[in-house]
């Protein structure tokens, strides 16, 4: 497998969901996920620097990781696969003690995440029991469900954060601080912290921090500020278990989202700030890009679950978002984004075959889509952008505005430099001379 199914060719069934407010979501019957959750290892192991990620999987999983993450065997990355061979299929309890001992000797991790995969999940391996059995007081082994069977691939980060919750100290009542929810690289984290402090917002930290023993304290007066749009489950867990409060705002992408995010967060702490000038200045910085995006028809297929905030930025930038689809849409967690997308066709679990027909009919100027579907679309003459790139680039807050805008315009610019062609195969990244 490697990537979750694009979807079966079910007959199209769709229905509308009316959520409070004026906006509605079209719910179809197809894509529930688009890629394998094991992909989260690629960014999570880099973020939590004293961790090791162990996957109990098959050769298929190994092949996927090797290709998707560009695994370098000689670099001794802090992740690995315990391979299930045919002979193991009869066993319910794989033995991992030797592998764990080897990992500890080679990498000296503070925590080991044990990730499930499709085959052992189908075999009903008791991962929780296994992780408990392998844990020691100095190095806990934490179970993370990450197969391509259940969740969208970005939600595997949610599962990692779930596993970390019990290692966040309890913050006492009365200690009001913000904890940013979501994995971002260290310089983006420094940036967000500095911005919050400049606005007078006390910072409790990030979940996750870059070291296992530095996870933030969370308690009844913690304000959780989600900075990635696919972490609704861990936010709910922290609300239930710690009494924390989640900020429901726009996500800090683009000048519009960033202004609203910081103004709303400041309000949680009784601070009134007006960042309209700053927003205006940020739009000014990307004027060339927004001129190029204006009135362009953009189609977003379901992939990363970042689609709603990205579409909202595009809409604010003057683009014509002809469809924004996502694997799952949590109406509460994404409520502000949905409201800002009023008038845009928003689809949950889109039927990919219907999307193909619509793409052919609408002929969008730009398609933001997954690794699986990008090249076939490009082969049919469409300009495409890999949605995965938005996860890997620093696009948060004020400092990320230019990167965000450039990600959208770069394929348009590249196409405009190519000589005119008709239905010629053009694959993004294959023609560097066209840059
Ligand atoms: S966990 Fe499942 S979807 Fe992911 S690589 Fe392994 S077999 Fe494929």
Residue of 6, 60, 79, 146 to test ligand 1 pocket, by largest number of atoms within 8 Å of CB? 60
Q: Is 40 in the pocket of ligand 1 (CB under 6 A)?
A: no
For CA atoms 137, 138, 139, 140, the dihedral sign is: positive
Question: Can you identify the CATH homologous superfamily of domain 169-268?
Answer: Nitrogenase molybdenum iron protein domain (3.40.50.1980)
Q: Which residues contact 224 (CB under 8 A, 6 or more apart)?
A: 178, 179, 181, 218, 235, 238, 239, 244, 245, 246, 247
Listed in order, the ranges of the chain carrying CATH 3.40.50.1980 are 37-151, 169-268, 279-434
The predicted pLDDT at position 418 comes to 73
Question: Can you identify the CATH homologous superfamily of domain 279-434?
Answer: Nitrogenase molybdenum iron protein domain (3.40.50.1980)
Cβ atoms of 205 and 216 closer than 8 Å: yes
Report which protein residue has its CA nearest ligand 1's atom 8: 2
The predicted pLDDT at position 6 comes to 36
The predicted pLDDT at position 9 comes to 39
The predicted pLDDT at position 417 comes to 78
Q: Cβ-count burial of 354 within 10 angstroms (0-12 exposed, 13-18 middle, 19+ buried)? A: middle
Q: How much distance in Å is there from the Cα of 212 to the middle of ligand 1?
A: 27
Q: How much distance in Å is there from the Cα of 393 to the middle of ligand 1?
A: 25
* pLDDT per residue of the chain (435 residues) written in tens, 0 to 9: 444 433 333 334 555 555 555 568 999 987 666 788 898 998 999 999 999 999 999 998 988 888 877 655 555 688 888 888 766 666 656 678 999 999 999 999 999 999 999 888 888 888 999 999 999 999 999 999 988 777 788 999 999 999 999 999 999 999 999 999 999 999 999 999 999 999 999 999 999 999 999 999 999 999 999 999 999 999 999 999 999 999 999 999 999 999 999 999 999 999 999 999 999 999 999 999 999 999 999 999 999 999 999 999 999 999 999 999 999 999 999 999 999 999 999 999 999 899 999 999 999 999 999 988 898 999 999 999 999 999 989 999 999 999 999 999 999 998 887 766 544 444 444 443 333
Sheet holding 24-27, edge to edge: 15-18, 24-27, 346-348, 320-326, 297-300, 366-369, 384-386
Q: Is 148 in the pocket of ligand 1 (CB under 6 A)?
A: yes
Cβ atoms of 52 and 78 closer than 8 Å: yes
Cβ atoms of 218 and 207 closer than 8 Å: yes
Sheet holding 51-57, edge to edge: 79-83, 51-57, 111-115, 141-144
Q: What are phi and psi of 114, to 5 degrees?
A: -105, 110
139 DSSP 8-state letter: S
Alpha-carbon distance of 228 to 423, in angstroms, equals 37
Closest approach atom of ligand 1 to CA 64: 5
Q: What are phi and psi of 254, to 5 degrees?
A: 80, 160
Report which protein residue has its CA nearest ligand 1's atom 6: 61
The predicted pLDDT at position 5 comes to 36
Q: What is the DSSP string of 109-138?
A: -SEEEEE--HHHHHTT--HHHHHHHH--SS
Would you state the structure tokens that stand for residue 399, as one six-digit string? Answer: 């400092």
Report which protein residue has its CA nearest ligand 1's atom 2: 118
Q: What are phi and psi of 101, to 5 degrees?
A: -60, -40
Q: Is 36 in the pocket of ligand 1 (CB under 6 A)?
A: yes
Domain spanning 37-151, CATH architecture:
3-Layer(aba) Sandwich (3.40)
Cβ atoms of 222 and 203 closer than 8 Å: no
Determine how β-strand 366-369 pairs with β-strand 141-144: unpaired
Would you state the structure tokens that stand for residue 5, as one six-digit string? Answer: 């199914």
Closest approach atom of ligand 1 to CA 37: 4
Q: Is 83 in the pocket of ligand 1 (CB under 6 A)?
A: no
Residue of 4, 6, 36, 62 to test ligand 1 pocket, by largest number of atoms within 8 Å of CB? 36
The predicted pLDDT at position 36 comes to 87
């Amino acid at each position: 497998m490697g990537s979750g199914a694009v979807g079966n060719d079910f007959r199209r069934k769709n229905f509308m969901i009316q959520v409070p407010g004026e906006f509605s979501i079209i719910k179809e019957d197809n894509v529930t996920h688009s890629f394998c959750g094991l992909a989260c290892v690629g960014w999570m192991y880099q973020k939590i620097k004293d961790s090791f990620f162990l996957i109990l999987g098959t050769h298929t999983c190994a092949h996927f990781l090797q290709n998707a993450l560009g695994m370098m065997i000689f670099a001794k990355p802090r992740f690995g696969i315990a391979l299930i061979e045919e002979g193991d299929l009869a066993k319910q309890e794989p033995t991992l003690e030797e592998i764990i001992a080897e990992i500890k000797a080679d990498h000296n991790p503070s925590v080991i995440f044990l990730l499930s995969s499709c085959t052992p999940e189908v075999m009903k391996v008791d991962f929780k029991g296994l992780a408990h059995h392998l844990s020691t007081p100095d190095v806990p082994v934490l179970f993370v469900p990450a197969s391509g069977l259940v969740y969208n691939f970005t939600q595997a980060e949610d599962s990692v954060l779930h596993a970390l919750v019990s290692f966040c100290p309890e913050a006492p009542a009365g200690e009001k601080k913000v904890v940013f929810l979501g994995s971002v690289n260290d310089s983006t984290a420094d940036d967000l912290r500095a911005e919050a402090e400049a606005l007078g917002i006390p910072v409790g930290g990030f979940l996750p921090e870059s070291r296992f023993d530095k996870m933030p304290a969370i308690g009844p007066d913690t304000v959780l500020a989600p900075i990635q749009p696919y972490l609704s489950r861990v936010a709910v867990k922290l609300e239930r278990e710690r009494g924390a409060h989640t900020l429901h705002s726009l996500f800090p992408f683009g000048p519009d989202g960033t202004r609203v995010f910081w103004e709303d967060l400041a309000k949680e702490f009784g601070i009134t700030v007006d960042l309209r000038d700053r927003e205006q200045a940020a739009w000014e910085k990307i004027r060339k890009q927004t001129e190029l995006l204006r009135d362009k028809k953009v189609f977003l297929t379901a992939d990363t679950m970042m689609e709603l905030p990205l579409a909202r930025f595009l809409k604010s930038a003057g683009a014509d978002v002809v469809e924004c689809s996502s694997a799952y849409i949590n109406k509460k967690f994404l409520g502000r984004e949905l409201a800002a997308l009023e008038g845009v066709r928003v689809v949950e679990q889109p039927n990919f075959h219907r999307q193909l027909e619509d793409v052919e009919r609408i002929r969008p100027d730009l398609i933001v889509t997954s690794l699986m579907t990008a090249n076939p679309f490009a082969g049919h003459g469409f300009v495409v952008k890999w949605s995965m790139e938005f996860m890997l680039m620093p696009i948060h807050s004020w400092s990320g505005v230019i990167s965000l805008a450039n990600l959208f315009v770069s394929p348009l610019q590249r196409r405009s430099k190519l000589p005119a062609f008709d239905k010629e195969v053009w694959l993004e990244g294959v023609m560097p001379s066209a840059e």
